[in-house]
Amino acid sequence: MSPTGPGGPGGARDDGWYGPPTGDPLAARLFPPLPGQVIWGLDRMQRILAAVGSPHRAYPALLVGGTNGKGSVAHVWARVLHAAGFRVGLYTSPHLVHFRERIQVEGEPLPDAFLEEVADELRSPLVKRQPSFFEATTALALTAFARAEVEVAVLEVGMGGRLDAVNVVDPILAVVTNVGLDHQEMLGATHAEIAREKAGIFRSGVPAFTAASHPDALRVLAEEAAARGVPLARIAPAPGRMVAGGAADGPAPMNELRLRTRTWGELELRTPLLGAHQRTNVALAVRALEGLPPRLIPPRRAVVEGVAAARVPGRLQLEEEGPRRYLLDVAHNLEGVETLVVALGELAEVGGQVLPAPRVAVVGILADKPVDAMLHALAPAVDRVILTVPPSAPASRRWDAEAVAARFEASRLEIMPTEGEPLTTPPFEAVPRLEEALERARALTDTGGTVVVTGSFLTVGGALVALGRTGEPPVA
């Protein structure tokens, strides 16, 4: 590991994950030209925020890191604290469609005009310090929350933890959801190395929680917590199940879980966040709230209402269109795809109307991900795979969908049995343009079926635009 950052000497890298969104006029108006390079370290953030009065010191903050699930935990926290009567700021990344999704107060994106006023205040230190896009966005969020007079802020780590821009705050609560092998070129090659980076959000005496299960990750998290004098608790998965919701227009599945707590006793919770992994995320979010200072601990009613109200776009999001259903999920690494496959099986057990056959997957993965492993994990759970390229993907991260599809299809045909049980590996094809891939999926489900859209945030965001399911941006 480099002493200045996990990405090598100086920690510098041109990272499309953090890059400015193309075609978003708001983001273009907010910031001066930025270098687009991630240089690990907190010095620039500290200097930028100091230039505008250190606004991140104006409110208590809850910080959540991890490989997967941190956005879900953040949304649950924000909803529960809002239901408890607090004015809550929520900062997440990346966005699916609109830049304004990243910075919310009271469950709504802040008006464009307000963000532009805050950005004007930051312009001089941004020009002077030349931060990355993510650093600039984080500075904007932390300043906007102070100007909006939030009573508490919920902040999602962008990548890693120790040197992530969000870690400039001193949290009153810290969570590491889990530790998987993602962004290894930046964070380390092993679970242990990545866990050490993520444990960087721990603070002496501040309660910390995790749902991590990998033994090497747990060992390192425990070591780092002990070294800092951090009380770390591991939260086990909560028992529960997915059930049909009984909506008038068709089955609307819900998650039910039972959770034992010290503060509220036994809770029976219902959430629209689907999948066994979301039961774990909800359990982690709720149990972690018990570590808040007494004045911020929400009442039982707020916990139940907040969990029921939490919705996270692009996470097992169900949409209807004529005879077919869409299931959109941002699974962007191997652990995410494996979790999606488990959820597909659980949803199938709820009832055939939730995910009717055939299942056609429209998949757009970024080139720096473990493409083959992700597709091998997904393929047995669907009936056909269409590989595509999200239009907003940076050129450096675009995969060759046609070459990958040809390789998988050739492999499938080579092992085609002449008799006996049919193959479980579905046919593969490539349709590089996302809108055309969705049209192909529509044709394959014209009398009914399910289109599973996955592979990256960019793929799901592009699909939401193509399907007209983006929601209206707020009035400027």
Q: Is the peptide bond before 94 cis (omega within 30 degrees of 0)?
A: yes
Note whether 97 and 461 are within 8 A (CB): yes
Better-predicted residue by pLDDT, 253 or 207: 207
Q: Which long-range contacts (CB under 8 A, 24 or more apart) does 6-10 make?
A: 6/40, 6/160, 6/162, 6/163, 6/186, 6/187, 6/188, 6/193, 6/197, 7/38, 7/40, 7/185, 7/186, 10/39, 10/40
Better-predicted residue by pLDDT, 78 or 159: 78
pTM: 0.90
The CATH code for residues 9-309 is: 3.40.1190.10
Per cent of the chain over pLDDT 90 is 74
Provide CB contacts within 8 A for 289, sequence distance 6+. 77, 80, 173, 297, 298, 303
DSSP, collapsed to helix, strand or coil, labels residue 139 as helix
Looking at mean pLDDT, say which of 94-103, 381-390, 410-419 comes out highest.
Answer: 381-390
pLDDT for the residue 414: 67
**Residue 423 pLDDT > 60, yes or no?**
no
Average confidence (pLDDT) over 13-29: 59
pLDDT for the residue 41: 84
**How far apart are alpha carbons 350 and 345 in whole angstroms?**
9
**How far apart are alpha carbons 437 and 386 in whole angstroms?**
7
**Residue 25 pLDDT > 50, yes or no?**
yes
The structural domains of the chain, with segments of one domain joined by +, span: 9-309, 317-467
Two domains, one topology: 9-309 and 317-467: no
According to CATH, the topology of domain 317-467 is: Protein-Tyrosine Phosphatase; Chain A (3.90.190)
pLDDT for the residue 40: 75
- In terms of DSSP bridges, do strands 88-91 and 254-260 run parallel, antiparallel, or are they unpaired? unpaired
pLDDT for the residue 464: 94
Average confidence (pLDDT) over 104-132: 95
**Residue 2 pLDDT > 60, yes or no?**
no
**How far apart are alpha carbons 28 and 136 in whole angstroms?**
12
Q: Scan for tokens 């299931």, then name that residue.
A: 327
**How far apart are alpha carbons 130 and 33 in whole angstroms?**
9
pLDDT for the residue 251: 56
How confident is the prediction for the chain on average, in pLDDT? 89
Q: Measuring CA to CA, which residue among 346, 341, 317 is closest to residue 329?
A: 317
**How far apart are alpha carbons 149 and 350 in whole angstroms?**
44
Run of H or E residues at 75: helix 70-83
Provide CB contacts within 8 A for 244, sequence distance 6+. 251, 252, 253, 254, 350, 351, 354
pLDDT for the residue 470: 79
Q: Measuring CA to CA, which residue among 281, 294, 392 is closest to residue 339?
A: 281
Lowest mean pLDDT among 7-21, 74-88, 271-285: 7-21
Q: What is the dihedral of CA 267, 273, 275, 278, to 10 degrees?
A: -60
Note whether 137 and 21 are within 8 A (CB): no
How sure is the predictor about 12, in pLDDT bands with cuts at 50, 70 and 90?
very low
